[in-house]
Amino acid sequence: MKYLELIDRHGYAQNTLKALDPRDINHSDVELAFLAYYPLLKYENDPAPAAVYKESLRRTWSIVRPEKNPWWDFTVCAFIPEDCDASGSIRALSDIPAEQVNRKGTGLQRWNGDPYRPAEGNGEIEGDGVVFLLPYWMGRYHGFIH
C-alpha cells in the first residue's frame, strides 16, 4: 500500500511535525492541513503514526487557536477532547450571517436613484457557505452541536 510506503520509506508521519509555522504562510495551507488531520486521525489504526499526527495537530492548534475557527476547533475537539472549546465554536458559527450575498448596504434608503439596486456592492458575489456548513455538520456529527 502506497500510504504505508510513505510512512516507512519517506517518514510521512514525522514530516507532519516539520510543517512551517502557519502564521507565516497563506491560511489555505492551514485549511489543507486540517483537511488531512481529520482522516489521518480518524482512520489510522497504528498507534505510532497516530500519536505523531496528534502531536502535529496539537502543535498547529497551539498556533492557530486564537483565531477561533470552528472547523479547526471541532477537529481538535474530535481528537484531543481535553483541548476542546465547543462553546466558542458554536458562538462563532452563530455570528456567521446566513445571507452570503455581498450586498453591503448603507443602512438607509435613498430615493434619488434606483431603489432596487444595492447602495454598495452589486449582489453578484455569493459565498458558498462552506465556512459555515463544514464545521456545523462536523459539530453535529460529533455531538458538539445539539
Residue 14 dihedral angles phi and psi, to the nearest 5°: -65, -30
Contact 71, 135 (CB under 8 A): yes
**Predicted local confidence at residue 137, as pLDDT:** 95
pLDDT classification of 15: cutoffs 50, 70, 90: confident
**Predicted local confidence at residue 144, as pLDDT:** 95
DSSP class of residue 18 equals: G
CA 36 to chain centre: 11
Please state, in angstroms and rounded to a whole number, the distance separating the CA atoms of residues 128 and 97.
12
- Of 70, 80, 89, give the one whose Cα is nearest residue 134: 70
- Is it the case that residue 73 has pLDDT exceeding 50? yes
How confident is the model over 62-88, as a mean pLDDT?
90
Domain extents for the chain? Answer: 2-142
CA distances from 105 to 99, 102, 114, 115 (A): 13, 9, 14, 12
Tens of pLDDT along 107-125? 544 444 444 555 555 666 6
**Predicted local confidence at residue 108, as pLDDT:** 47
**Predicted local confidence at residue 81, as pLDDT:** 93
- Is it the case that residue 1 has pLDDT exceeding 50? yes
SS3 state of residue 126 = strand
Q: Note the residue count of the chain.
A: 146
What b/e string do you get for 53-91 counting C-beta neighbours within 10 Å, with b at 16 or more? bbebbeebbeebeeeebbbbbbbbbbbeeeebbbeebbe
How confident is the model over 9-19, as a mean pLDDT?
80
Predicted TM-score (pTM) of this structure: 0.75
